């Protein structure tokens, strides 16, 4: 079982830490190679501005837990908007909002769970400074929030081996959005707190993954020299037909609304 880490990326200035801070120090990037390139002043300003606007929106929402997403990568060619999601909940003791999410560690084949402030969540090298938010039903909030506040419970379904395109119905790897979705299943159905049962619950509830059309050349190019991409968990028939099914933010948002587990998605530009 893995603990939930707390981190503050190197890019965030001291002023940002005073505003929306995490609880310890250590860099992390989701599905990207770690780099020493410092962010520009404009990047810092825009990420802090987005964090402040998001905090205000959350305060006004009346929610205790919200699904939160960011545009870390440009996925326009796949018809997708957001690249990464987590859960943000109100920490009453700290009087602040905390994000719990899974991050790939610097482009390696492993991942970890992190608890961060909003400034840290938006301090990655974003493609666009925009947040996607969905307010779950009260029942979902009540089930998920205590689970995410507890390190051990939050990590029950976390699986370290990571692939950015992990197959949704296999257990060899687990990508970031997949952890969030499987954790939701565990929170809503106590009998679904191992990965195979969580996935069975999601199938029963009608979750549909996103299908990416990736040719053999594209798959080979993505796999060679890239530790955080693997395709060997996908069924051969689908893979050789250039069909790669995976968990995307857009598919999670669609599922939450169709299953009546959350309201419509909201955008903060």
Q: Is 103 helix (H, G, I), strand (E, B) or coil?
A: strand
Question: pLDDT value at position 96?
Answer: 97
The closest of 243, 240, 158 to 193, measured between CA atoms, is: 158
Half-sphere exposure of 10 (CA within 13 A, CB side): 10
What pTM value is reported for the model? 0.87
Q: 43-76 burial, b for 16+ CB within 10 Å, e for fewer? A: bbebbbebbbebbeebeeeebbbbbbbbbbbebe
Question: pLDDT value at position 4?
Answer: 82
Question: pLDDT value at position 230?
Answer: 94
- How large is the angle between the packed helices 176-188 and 195-205, nearest 10 degrees? 80
Residues of the chain below pLDDT 70 = 1-3, 6-36
Question: pLDDT value at position 36?
Answer: 56
- Cβ atoms 150, 134 nearer than 8 A: no
Using a CB cutoff of 8 Å and minimum separation of 24, what contacts does 33-42 make? 33/106, 33/107, 34/106, 34/107, 38/10, 38/11, 39/11, 39/123, 39/125
**Start-end of H helices in the chain:** 14-19, 41-61, 118-121, 138-149, 151-154, 176-188, 195-205, 216-223, 236-240, 249-258
Distance CA 49, CA 26 (A): 22
Question: pLDDT value at position 225?
Answer: 72
Phi/psi of residue 10, each to 5°?
Answer: -60, -25
Question: pLDDT value at position 3?
Answer: 61
Which tokens sit at 113? 């769970």
Question: pLDDT value at position 222?
Answer: 81
Alpha carbon separation from 111 to 3, 158, 160, 174 (Å, rounded): 12, 9, 5, 9
Domains and CATH numbers, the chain: 4-268 (3.90.1720.10)
- Cβ atoms 11, 122 nearer than 8 A: no
Alpha carbon separation from 108 to 126, 171, 229 (Å, rounded): 19, 18, 9
């Amino acid at each position: 079982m893995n603990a939930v880490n707390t981190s503050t990326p190197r890019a965030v200035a001291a002023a940002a830490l005073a505003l929306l801070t995490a609880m310890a120090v250590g860099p992390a990037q989701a599905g990207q190679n770690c780099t020493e390139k410092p962010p520009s002043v404009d990047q810092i300003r825009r990420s802090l501005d987005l964090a402040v606007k998001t905090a205000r929106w959350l305060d006004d929402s009346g929610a205790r837990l919200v699904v939160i997403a960011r545009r870390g990568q440009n996925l326009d060619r796949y018809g997708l908007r957001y690249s990464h999601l987590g859960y943000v909940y109100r920490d009453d003791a700290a009087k602040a909002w905390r994000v719990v999410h899974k991050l790939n560690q610097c482009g390696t084949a492993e991942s970890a769970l992190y608890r961060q402030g909003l400034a840290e969540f938006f301090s990655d090298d974003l493609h666009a400074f925009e947040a996607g938010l969905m307010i779950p039903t009260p029942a979902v909030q009540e089930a998920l929030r205590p689970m995410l506040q507890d390190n051990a419970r939050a990590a029950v379904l976390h699986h370290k081996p990571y692939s950015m395109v992990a197959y949704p119905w296999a257990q060899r790897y687990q990508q970031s959005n997949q952890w969030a979705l499987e954790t939701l299943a565990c929170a809503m159905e106590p009998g679904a707190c191992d990965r195979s049962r969580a996935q069975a619950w999601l199938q029963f509830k009608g979750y549909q993954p996103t299908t990416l059309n990736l040719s053999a050349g594209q798959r080979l190019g993505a796999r060679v020299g890239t530790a955080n991409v693997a395709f060997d968990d996908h069924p051969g028939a689908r893979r050789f037909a250039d069909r790669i099914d995976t968990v995307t933010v857009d598919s999670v948002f669609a599922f939450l609304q169709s299953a009546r587990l959350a309201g419509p998605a909201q955008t903060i530009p």
